[in-house]
């Protein structure tokens, strides 16, 4: 007798929490997972990058994310750490900031290998969502986007070129045409950004703001306050934080 033929289909899509710039804020990341009722093993965690640097416990963040099978895209600070590690091996890391050098000394080979393997973008096909650290140019295919722009851009100037400056041009995400929804970080000055096809999740946790994430597929925002100011915010960041704090408190109830 022939074994029965089985043909399966499933609409099962893992519930996914995409989290904004963590910058070593391990305590707040744990609080956000709890706020989102995150179930390790069942739910997926994705970071928009900048997991490390500036904050109190970069190693704790890296190991927590790895322990729950989290994914991430590369952020400019993750990239800085990797460049510092490479320079250190060549005995040429003098020009890197002290905080970065101290962190690199404490990272083990596994930490560095995990960071080095991070992609620049992560497409969550079943969620019709693309995750990137800083931004993307509309009408340029993902594979043709410049690495530097993916890691650092914030605005698009009138002539169509990208810039990391917020004083120039308009937020890149305001020009993103979809249809995929893009989730990104890297812009604590603009803070929470909600555009038709893009959402900015950097609400300046390390500057004493909030750590914010988006739950997929429902596109629900979740957010927890920073336990303290870990790094001094610029004036622009502080102002935006006050505005986001109000909006997100309403959403999150705390
Ligand atoms: Mn960044």
Q: What would the mean pLDDT of 64-90 be, rounded to a whole number?
A: 96
Q: What's the mean pLDDT in 190-215?
A: 97
Average pLDDT of span 119-134: 95
For residue 9, report the distance from its CA to the centre of ligand 1, in Å: 39
Q: Is the pLDDT of residue 253 over 70?
A: no
Alpha carbon of 72 to ligand 1 centroid (Å):
13
Three-state secondary structure readout of the chain: CCCCCCCCCCCCCCCEEEECCCCCCHHHHHHHHHHCCCCECCEEEEECCCCCCCCCCHHHHHHHHHHCCCEECCCHHHHHHHHHHHHHHCCCCCCCCHHHHHHHHHCCHHHHHHHHCCCCEEEEHHHCEEEECCCCCCCCCHHHCCHHHHHHCCEECCCCCEECCCCCCEEHHHHCCCCCEEEECCCCCCCCEEECCEEECCCEHHHCCEEEEEEECCCEEEEEECCCCCCCCCHHHHHHHHHHHHHHHHHHCC
> How far, in Å, from the CA of 154 to the mean position of ligand 1?
10
Q: What is the CA(191)–ligand 1 centre distance, in A?
A: 12
Count of beta carbons in the 10 Å neighbourhood of residue 57:
18
Mean pLDDT, residues 192-216 taken together: 97
Q: Report pLDDT for 9.
A: 66
CATH of 16-133+173-252, one of 3.40.50.1110, 3.30.310.80, 3.40.50.2300, 3.60.21.10: 3.60.21.10
**pLDDT tier at 78, thresholds 50, 70, 90:** very high
pLDDT score for 77: 97
Q: How far from 164 is each of 3, 54, 181, 187, 219, CA to CA, in Å?
A: 60, 19, 21, 9, 27
In the block, tokens 């790895």 appear at 66
| Ligand 1 centroid distance, CA of 6 (Å) | 47
Query: What local confidence, expressed as pLDDT, does residue 11 receive?
Result: 54
User: What pLDDT, in 10s, does the model give residues 137-184?
Assistant: 998 999 999 999 999 999 999 999 999 999 999 999 999 999 999 999
Mean pLDDT estimate for the chain: 93
pLDDT of amino acid 88: 95
Pairing of strands 170-171, 155-156: antiparallel
pLDDT, tens digit, for every residue of 37-70? 999 989 999 999 999 999 999 999 999 999 999 9
Provide, rounded to the nearest whole percent, the portion of the chain with pLDDT above 90.
82
The alpha carbon of 136 and the centre of ligand 1 are apart by a number of angstroms equal to: 14
Which of the two residues, 10 and 4, has the higher pLDDT score?
4
Mean pLDDT of the region 90-94: 92
CA 37-53-249 angle, 5° bins: 40
What's this model's pTM, rounded to 2 decimal places? 0.92
pLDDT band at 247 (very low <50, low <70, confident <90, very high): confident
pLDDT at 5: 82
Kindly report the number of other CB atoms within 10 A of residue 163's CB atom: 16
Would you list the domain boundaries of the chain?
16-133+173-252
Ligand 1 centroid, distance to 5 Cα (angstroms): 50
């Amino acid at each position: 007798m022939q074994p029965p033929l089985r043909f399966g289909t499933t609409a099962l899509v893992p519930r996914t929490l995409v989290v904004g710039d963590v910058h070593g804020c391990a305590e707040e990341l744990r609080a956000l997972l709890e706020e989102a009722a995150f179930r390790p093993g069942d739910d997926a965690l994705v970071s928009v990058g900048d997991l490390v640097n500036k904050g109190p416990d970069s190693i704790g963040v890296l190991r927590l994310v790895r322990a729950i099978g989290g994914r991430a895209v590369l952020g400019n600070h993750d990239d800085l750490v990797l460049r510092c590690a490479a320079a250190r091996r060549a005995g040429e890391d003098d020009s890197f900031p002290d905080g970065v050098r101290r962190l690199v000394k404490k990272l083990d080979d596994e930490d560095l290998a995990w960071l080095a393997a991070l992609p620049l973008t992560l497409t969550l096909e079943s969620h019709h969502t693309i995750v990137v650290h800083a931004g993307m140019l509309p009408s340029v295919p993902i594979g043709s986007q410049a690495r530097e722009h993916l890691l650092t851009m914030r605005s698009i100037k009138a002539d169509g070129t990208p810039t990391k400056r917020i004083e120039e041009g308009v937020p890149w995400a305001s020009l993103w045409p979809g249809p995929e929804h893009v989730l990104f970080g890297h812009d604590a000055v603009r803070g929470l950004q909600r555009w038709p096809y893009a959402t900015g999740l950097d609400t300046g946790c390390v500057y004493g703001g909030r750590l914010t994430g988006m739950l997929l597929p429902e596109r629900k925002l979740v957010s927890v306050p920073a336990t303290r100011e870990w790094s001094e915010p610029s004036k622009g960041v502080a102002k935006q934080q006050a505005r986001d704090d109000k909006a997100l408190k309403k959403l999150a109830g705390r």
